[in-house]
Amino acid sequence: MSEQALKYHNMLLGSERKIESPENGTLVKKSIDNATRKLEECLRKSSAVVAPNPANGNELTNGVGEVGTSEIEYIESEKLSDVEDADAALKAVLAGLESKDWLLVCDTLNNVRRLALFHKEVMLNMVEDVITLLVKALKNPRSAVCKTGIMTSADIFFAYNDELINFLDPLMVQLLLKASQDKKFVCEAAEKALVAMTSWVSPALLLPKLKPYLKNRNPRIRAKASMCFCRSVPLLGGEGIKAYGIDELIQTAASQLSDQLPESREAARTLLLELQTVYEKSPDYVRSSSVSEYLPETSSWENFCQSKLSPLNAQAVLRVTNLAREALVSSS
């Protein structure tokens, strides 16, 4: 019980002791009523502790002076409406994102989404500043701000595509981190944002940005980066894969086959099967190994892998692709 509540509690007990006095019965009754009301109010305030709100990913709500996330609505992109005044919304963006009022930050993030989807040209000149503050929102310990920021990232990828490439690194780092954490509703939103990134940013520009994270010390970050890498490579197309360097891509995928987490290994297997298909459709592919003895520039898939990889990695890659081929033959 708080100090103030204890004070009113003692007042109430003192009043009860005096209630038998016939001279001032009415005054005593009023005193008891007032003390009781104050005690109840004080106890109600002191018991309004921070409690989890399971409907919003265990976001904390405070009954005393803090508005809970029940007032935050996570609006899907297709349900966003246009801003009433684009110029006014644009002028308020930077100040709103820098605010210490988290509700205002969330409102501003939603306006950034609207501007990106409906008026992307007007915000283009300030995209770098917006992304800097967006990264700050992703680091916010309050989940409502973080998730709204993640949803904003997805819409920005959709709107600005390759125009983000020079500002992409800090944003991508945070999304990989958020997709790797244990808070489910934040993690799922970050996964969607990473899918948007691989869908709307050109793979030729994105793959060099992703590659360093395939060797990150955090296995979860490696796994998420591997999944992004695997999704992005097929978007290059057959000619794009050969232009990027199929041998380099095979080496990258082979290194992920022995990774700690199954997500990394599965992404590597999927990528290797894609690369095998592309290679076997190329004019360099020759089924007969005897031909490759006379024409060193041509090679079967097996010989190609053995020439580009260490013996151990080549064995692992061929095991994956041969098993997939055998499964395909047996099912047909």
Closest to 132 in 3D by CA, of 156, 101, 114? 156
3 state DSSP class of 112: helix
144 CB neighbour count, 10 Å cutoff: 24
34 CB neighbour count, 10 Å cutoff: 14
- For residue 255, pLDDT over 70 is answered with yes
Closest to 258 in 3D by CA, of 214, 224, 300? 214
Q: What are the tens digits of pLDDT across the range 262-314?
A: 999 999 999 999 999 999 988 766 554 444 443 444 578 999 999 999 999 99
Both tokens of residue 149?
Answer: 């920021």
- For residue 5, pLDDT over 50 is answered with no
Separate counts of helices (H) and strands (E) for the chain: 17, 2
Which residue type occupies 284? D
Mean pLDDT of the chain: 81
Q: What are the tens digits of pLDDT across the range 152-187?
A: 999 999 999 999 999 999 999 999 999 998 889 999
Lowest mean pLDDT among 64-73, 177-186, 202-211, 233-242: 64-73
- For residue 88, pLDDT over 60 is answered with yes
The percent of residues above 70 in pLDDT, for the chain, comes to: 72
Closest to 172 in 3D by CA, of 183, 164, 182? 164
pLDDT, residue 274, reads 95
- For residue 64, pLDDT over 60 is answered with no
Residue 149 pairs in a beta bridge with none
pLDDT, residue 323, reads 85
pLDDT, residue 66, reads 39
Confidence of residue 59 (pLDDT cuts 50, 70, 90): very low
Which residue type occupies 96? G
How far is the C-alpha of 109 from the C-alpha of 94, rounded, in Å?
Answer: 10
pLDDT, residue 182, reads 85
pLDDT, residue 284, reads 62
The residues near 265 (Cβ < 8 Å, ≥ 6 apart) are 256, 257, 258, 259
pLDDT, residue 324, reads 75
Residue 51 pairs in a beta bridge with 61
Distances (CA, A) of 121 to 89, 194, 203: 14, 23, 23
How far is the C-alpha of 169 from the C-alpha of 229, rounded, in Å?
Answer: 15
pLDDT, residue 283, reads 72
Please compute the mean of the pLDDT values over residues 240-261 and round it to a whole number: 94
Lowest mean pLDDT among 7-11, 118-122, 193-197: 7-11
How far is the C-alpha of 68 from the C-alpha of 86, rounded, in Å?
Answer: 29
Confidence of residue 19 (pLDDT cuts 50, 70, 90): very low
- For residue 98, pLDDT over 90 is answered with yes
Closest to 61 in 3D by CA, of 178, 142, 146, 181? 142
pLDDT, residue 44, reads 44
Contact at 8 Å (CB) between 193 and 153? yes
Confidence of residue 21 (pLDDT cuts 50, 70, 90): very low
R_g of the chain, CA atoms, integer Å: 31
Both tokens of residue 201?
Answer: 């940013």
pLDDT, residue 106, reads 96
**Rounded to 5 degrees, what are φ and ψ at 216?**
-60, 150
Confidence of residue 139 (pLDDT cuts 50, 70, 90): very high
Residue 313 CA to its chain's centroid (Å) = 32
pTM for this prediction: 0.75
